[in-house]
Structure 1
């Protein structure tokens, strides 16, 4: 005879593994457990995503390619929210569990400083699928294992700011995160310049085409020439002309000095 609990379990709709709400289920690798000792049937137990867990609320695809974190970009290599932070010196894939462990350790350390906040600049939104050892080739990609994110060289991972936190306390707190990350990182401040791969310098700047264009300049150019692209090209030409004039002035001054020296002699 069918019991009331089994009827309600059949009528209850199952949650999708990638729902749009703030609380949904995630697949587990060990998801088959016996229902009870009397019934040997197996049911699927799924992990529930809570609000504080690092996992995307919705994804377009259930599985993703492994990919490789690249480099050679100045984007995201400087501080934006806080006054102190750490950034990566190499490319690696960081899991959600590692980021959560770093968050808990840093927040516990800066808890005594009123107003201090921790900012996370990366987010684990890439599903990692793992197959068991000694498996034959083919037969699919494998089951979902954990969420991860790709970090390229120079990418800022954590930032600390607010509350007038001192550099000693921020460095000690971020040191706890550095020991929990599977890569080499460096401590940076607002005065630290951007990083391009292995090179870090304050003279590194994005190309002229990537710089923001003032709103007034865009409006004037849209009326006269018809686009912001022409404005960028005009600004590049002005920079080249200004540099050429400076070089000409240096050559003329050098010639005058040599002539004056010859007359005095």
Structure 2
């Protein structure tokens, strides 16, 4: 005699596997052909991998946020026009600063920007149309006056900080300046100097 299969076994046979369900329900968060490693600067999740080119953020409203030091004692910020900085350039500068400050125990490097803008490029001599180009690399847009890198954590001699940040400036496509804790904020290409306090009049009233 043949035994009929139970309802539980039939349900288990017809139910799809958990690996298939996880594959179908997981959205595409990284571009095709791109593998993010632990040492790479790239966002963990993105909703749309292709974006418009956009324009550089120019602080026309008078905001000075991000133009002064927040973590370290010395840093560099954009002095001229803003540009687009790639993730590879930021990685190179960060590795160079860490290597330069390796002899100082407790010294830290703070990166104030992060590459979260995908850049898509089409091949040379390509006809117009046919959609947007394929993903190439991550980048970020920096405005004039934006702080890029800071160093601190422990007391560092100013001469050593200037030398390290000078080497970092040579590897960036922007024109930067060396700043300290006492440097005033910058609004575009204009420094915002604090106004002196008003002196109370000491004239004697008759």
Count of paired positions: 178
Distance across 2 between alignment mates of 1:17 and 1:185 = 38
Query: Is residue 2:179 matched to residue 1:168?
Result: no
Alignment partner of 2:29 out of 15, 18, 25? 18
Q: CA deviation at 1:18?
A: 2.0
Over the residues paired in the alignment, what is the CA RMSD in angstroms? 2.6
State the structure with more CA Rg.
Answer: 1
In the TM superposition, 1:71-110 aligns within 5 A as 71-72=58-59, 73-89=63-79, 90-110=81-101
Farther off after superposition, 188-197 or 169-178: 169-178
Structure 2: state its 5+ residue gaps. Answer: 1-19
Q: Which residue of 2 aligns with 1:69?
A: 56
Q: CA deviation at 1:17?
A: 5.6
Farther off after superposition, 168-177 or 79-88: 168-177
Query: Is residue 2:150 matched to residue 1:159?
Result: yes
TM-score (norm 2): 0.78
Structure 1: state its 5+ residue gaps. Answer: 1-10, 20-25, 28-45, 205-245, 261-265
8 A contact 1:116–1:162 mirrored in 2: yes
Q: CA deviation at 1:123?
A: 0.2
Q: Which residue of 1 aligns with 2:179?
A: 188
In the TM superposition, 1:224-263 aligns within 5 A as none
8 A contact 1:94–1:182 mirrored in 2: yes
8 A contact 1:192–1:202 mirrored in 2: no
State the secondary structure of the residue aligned to 1:119: strand
Alignment partner of 1:138 out of 102, 113, 129? 129
Higher relative contact order (CA 8 A, sep 6+): 2
Q: CA deviation at 1:138?
A: 1.3
Q: CA deviation at 1:187?
A: 0.4
